[in-house]
Amino acid sequence: MNTRLLAAFATFIFTGPALAAGVPGYLTDSQDAIVHNNYGECWHTGSWTPEMAVVGCDGKVAEAAPAPEPMPAPREIQEVTLSADALFAFDRADLKPGAVEALDNLVSQIKGYDDVERVRITGHADRIGSDAYNMRLSQRRAESVKGYLVRQGAISADKIEAQGVGESQPVVACEGVKKRAALIKCLAPNRRVVIDVDVKKMQ
């Protein structure tokens, strides 16, 4: 082989097409692009098998990307706080007649929402009495409100939950108030029922 042919062959080896690690089974150029022949076909190497086919070569086309999962509708919590004194007699958990108006307004409000996912009712008590007693009282009051909402068709029973937290989340302290009547009046804001309604957010 003459010197000129050897030089040309050496140049082909070092600068011509070569295998790229990222495209097994195909001949690539110095920029790692697959080499095509005069017919536009991808140039295989001797190790090529059909399993190595890549998009754009050998009849392989790009697979359609799966449709993205729909985004959940944005939601928000509508909170309503009702005075326990408006719903119950002191130290009682059965609804008094005057509670109907306040609860019927709540029923209408819940029914007015397009998409209610869940309603949570939380009963709160004041600090008069033991912790255990106040926990039970607040739970029974929450259950009373839940029962009324279900009976009035505001929401199905499986979408509503009731819990009592007793005196654990006060909004007033009334430190220094000694007389019982004055203390009951002062602690009234702590005796409450909070209704959280999880609804679809308006756009």
CA separation for the pair 103, 86 (Å, rounded): 10
State the span(s) of the chain assigned CATH 3.30.1330.60: 75-200
pLDDT score, position 30: 80
One pLDDT digit (tens) per residue for the chain, 203 residues: 444 444 433 333 334 444 445 588 888 888 888 888 888 889 888 888 888 888 888 877 777 778 888 888 899 999 999 999 999 999 999 999 999 999 999 999 999 998 999 999 999 999 999 999 999 999 999 999 999 999 999 999 999 999 999 999 999 999 999 999 999 999 999 999 999 999 988 76
Is residue 188 within 8 A of residue 86, CB to CB? The reply is no
CA separation for the pair 163, 191 (Å, rounded): 14
Neighbours of 17 (CB within 10 A): 16
Neighbours of 85 (CB within 10 A): 16
The first and second tokens of residue 100, run together, are 């109907």
CATH topology for 75-200 is 60s Ribosomal Protein L30; Chain: A; (3.30.1330)
